[in-house]
Amino acid sequence: MTETLTLFPDDAETLQADTIVPASRLTACVEALYIASSGDFETRPIDVLQLGFDGIANDFHQGLTRRSGGREPWYPRGTEMRNERQLSIVAPDELVTIAELMALPEIRPEWIGANILLSGIPKLSMLPARTKLFFANGVTLKIDGQNHPCKLSGRSIARHAGVADEAAGALLFPRVAKRLRGLVGWVEKPGRIETGEAVSVHIPEQWIYRA
């Protein structure tokens, strides 16, 4: 197992299969916060999120466990499982890209149930699993992975944006928003997150596993 840091020229970016890409850090900023406090997945702006080990207090996705659904075809629907989807995190630039691809003036984080609008991380949706977000005031979130865009969020976008053909709009979102719809994760260390807070993003070592 080699652990050399290889330099990658932009025009010929290649990676040896057994190369370990070292851990690294980035800095991000909490642009806005949102909570799903009305009994469904859509969120509304809020200045502060209060977090426990079970996620955001009084939020639709709060829970140490959750019920399985369409994302887990290997379980009977409704199976109790660990909740790795306590929070939804999106990036302003990725929402702009999705809006452009859908020919809409904007997509607001609350339409798709985001809890944190996080700026400063290029290609936020591509951050690897196990990345940690250390918030300046003490909270730590851990990234599970990409949030897959679904028809439900598509329908919400179509409705809020006033798309004429709502059904077509709902279907367009899952097609164009893949790898742009942000991340889900859970609380590693509880506390309070405030708008404007700085975040230190710790990206773990990376490699490609091949059997």
Q: What are the beta bridge partners of residue 48?
A: 194
Here the tokens at position 176 are 């164009």
Which one, of 56, 37, 34, lies nearest residue 45 by Cα?
Answer: 34
**Residue indicated by tokens 């949030």:** 147
Distance, in Å, from the CA atom of 16 to the CA atom of 8, rounded to the nearest integer, reads 11
**Residue indicated by tokens 């893949």:** 178
Q: In angstroms, what is the minimal distance from the CB of 47 to a second copy?
A: 25
Selected from 22, 45, 128, 196, the binder of a second copy by CB under 8 A is 128
Residue 6 vs 58, nearer CB to a second copy: 6
Residue 20 vs 46, nearer CB to a second copy: 20
Selected from 7, 9, 13, 105, the binder of a second copy by CB under 8 A is 13
Here the tokens at position 55 are 């996620």
- Separation of first and last alpha carbons in the chain: 14
Q: In angstroms, what is the minimal distance from the CB of 211 to a second copy?
A: 5
Selected from 67, 123, 175, 192, the binder of a second copy by CB under 8 A is 123
**63 belongs to the binding site for a second copy (CB under 8 A):** no
| CA dihedral of residues 15, 19, 24, 30 (deg, nearest 10) | 60
**Residue indicated by tokens 């991000």:** 28
Residue 58 vs 79, nearer CB to a second copy: 79
**17 belongs to the binding site for a second copy (CB under 8 A):** yes
Binding mask 135-164 for a second copy (x = CB under 8 A): -----x-x-xx-------------------
Q: In angstroms, what is the minimal distance from the CB of 60 to a second copy?
A: 20
Here the tokens at position 31 are 């642009």
- Please answer whether residues 164 and 112 qualify as being in contact, where contact means their C-beta atoms are separated by less than 8 angstroms: no
Binding site for a second copy (CB under 8 A): 1, 8, 13-18, 21, 24, 26, 53, 64-65, 74-75, 79-82, 84, 121-123, 126-130, 134, 140, 142, 144-145, 179, 186-189, 203-204, 206-211
